[in-house]
Amino acid sequence: MGYAGGTVLTWGVVERCMTAQVTTHGRVRVEESAKRVRAYLDGVLVADTTRPRLVWESPYYPTYYLPVADVRTELLQLEPERKHSPSRGDAQVYSLAVNGRTVPGAALRYPESPIEELQDLIRFEWKALDSWFEEDEEVFVHPRDPYTRVDILPSSRHVRVDVDGVTVAESTSPRLLFETNLPTRYYLPKPHVRLDLLTPTDTATHCPYKGEAEYWSVNGHADLAWSYPTPLPESEGVAGLICFYNEKVDIYVDGVLQERPKNKFS
């Protein structure tokens, strides 16, 4: 498999965003990235590129597509299966084999995609690899979205959290986290939380912007609160603070009950 650079775009919408070329084809958005991206399996470098593409296959976050020439294609084995996408066409499916370890369905390629920019790129399933790096920083869950911003601001607003009519937290020194396309999150100091009402759970999640979170059940409601004990540097402002799902509890800000957001966390 070889890489053919300098593709001429013959359809779709083309725009310029700073220095990156962006094209949209229906709901699929393709954008150049200037980051060096590396992916590893079992300690072996599988891909290393300075010309990745960010592809929004869904509206929520992007996926990396990597040039064929920057992938260790000798580690890939074509599978008989094919996958069809209404927007991207028919994909060849590859397994990935490293050090005697085989990951079926690890990669896709769309050599005859109606979206020309994808034809000479390979898409790896994120979880098929052990680790991903943007430059020299490991990233988790999915690539960082260049259009997502996280702002963490100290506040003197009076925040109260009630669960089933019981006040479980109250503070006049919260930190407010504003993240693109998500509701405002209120992070509260642990001394301002009824920790006796919280029970640790085994749940852990990763966020590409904030890091790994630990969770608590509250009054029998599973995983209602979370905290980032050692967040990524850009989110150190919420280190060790506790946040509750706005979607599932009653939050009062300066005495005003906030409407519960309706989203995937509801």
With beta carbons less than 8 A apart as the criterion, state whether 159 and 170 touch.
yes
Using DSSP's 3-state secondary structure scheme, residue 162 falls into strand
With beta carbons less than 8 A apart as the criterion, state whether 68 and 122 touch.
yes
pLDDT of amino acid 145: 92
Helix ranges (H only) for 68-126 are: none
Domains (range + CATH), the chain: 13-139 (2.170.150.40), 150-257 (2.170.150.40)
**Along the 266 residues of the chain, how does pLDDT read in single tens digits?**
333 333 333 333 334 444 457 777 777 899 999 999 999 999 999 999 999 999 998 777 899 999 999 999 999 999 999 999 999 999 999 999 999 999 999 999 999 999 999 999 999 999 999 999 999 999 999 999 999 999 999 999 999 999 999 999 999 999 999 999 899 999 999 999 999 999 999 999 999 999 999 999 998 899 999 999 999 999 999 999 999 999 999 999 999 999 999 888 87
* Exposure class string for 90-111: b at 16+ Cβ within 10 A, else e: ebbbbbbbbeeeebeebbbbbe
pLDDT of amino acid 196: 96
CA angle 215, 221, 225 (to 5 degrees): 30
Give the DSSP letter of residue 245: -
For the stretch 20-24, contacts whose Cβ atoms lie closer than 8 Å and that sit 24 or more positions apart, written own/partner, are 23/115, 23/117
With beta carbons less than 8 A apart as the criterion, state whether 63 and 88 touch.
no
Q: Which amino acid is present at 263? A: N
Q: What are phi and psi of 221, to 5 degrees?
A: -90, 120
Q: What are phi and psi of 94, to 5 degrees?
A: -125, 140
pLDDT of amino acid 6: 34
- Indicate the pTM of the whole model: 0.79
pLDDT of amino acid 166: 96
pLDDT of amino acid 20: 57
